[in-house]
A = this chain, B = another copy of it.
Amino acid sequence: MSLRHAMLGLLADRPASGYDLMKRFETSLSNVWPATQSQVYGELGKLAKSGLLKVAAEGPRGRKEYAITEEGLVELRRWLTETEPERVRRSDAMLRVFFLNLLTPLEAVAYLSTEAGRAAERHAALEELEGVVDWGDDPLSVNGRLALEYGLRFSAMYEEWARWAAEQIEGQPHTGRAG
C-alpha cells in the first residue's frame, strides 16, 4: 500500500490539511498515484493514530494541519531504501493485446492505431506541461522533472510499439477466426 507513503512524502515537503493534500495529489501526483478524498481523509486519521503524523495546527472550519513526525520520516526513508517497487503492474491495455485475435484484423489494427494516437496525445500534453511548469530548484520539481521525462519516454515508446504491432497484424495472413 503506497498511498500511505505518497502522503508521508508530500507531508515531508511541508505540512498540509487533507484538503491541501488533495490538491497536491491532483497537481503533482495524479499521474503516478491518484487518490480520492475518502482515501486521503481515512488514511490521515490512521497515520495520525499510529504516530507517523501529528496534528500540527488547527484552523478555521475544523481545519487540521498535519505534519510528519520523526517516526514518519524514518518509515518513509525505510520504504524508499529498503523496499522494492512492485514488479508486476496490471495493464488493461496489454491484456487486450492478448485477445486481439478475437477481432478481425481490421478491428485489431484500429485498436492499435487508436492507442498509438492516444499515446501521441499524452506525449504532446506532457511536452506542453514541460513548457508551462516553473522548473525552479524546489526539490519536488527536480524530481517531478525526472518523472516527466519518464512519461515522455514512455509515451513515445508506446506509440512506436503500437504502430509496429499494427504493422505486424497487417502483414499477417488472415486466419478467418473472427468476423
Q: What residues make up the interface of A, taking CB atoms closer than 8 Å to B? A: 2, 5-6, 9, 12, 28-34, 73, 76-77, 79-81, 84-86, 88-103, 107, 111, 115, 118, 137, 139-140, 142-144, 146-147, 149-150, 153-154, 157, 160-161, 164-165, 168, 172, 175, 177
Contact call A90/B157, Cβ cutoff below 8 A: no
Contact A147:B97 (CB < 8 A) given known A77-B102, A85-B115, A91-B32: yes
Which residues of B are found within 8 Å of A85, using beta-carbon distances? 91-93, 96, 115
Could you tell me the distance in whole angstroms from the C-beta of A151 to the nearest C-beta in chain B? 8
Contact call B2/A95, Cβ cutoff below 8 A: yes
Contact call A103/B77, Cβ cutoff below 8 A: yes
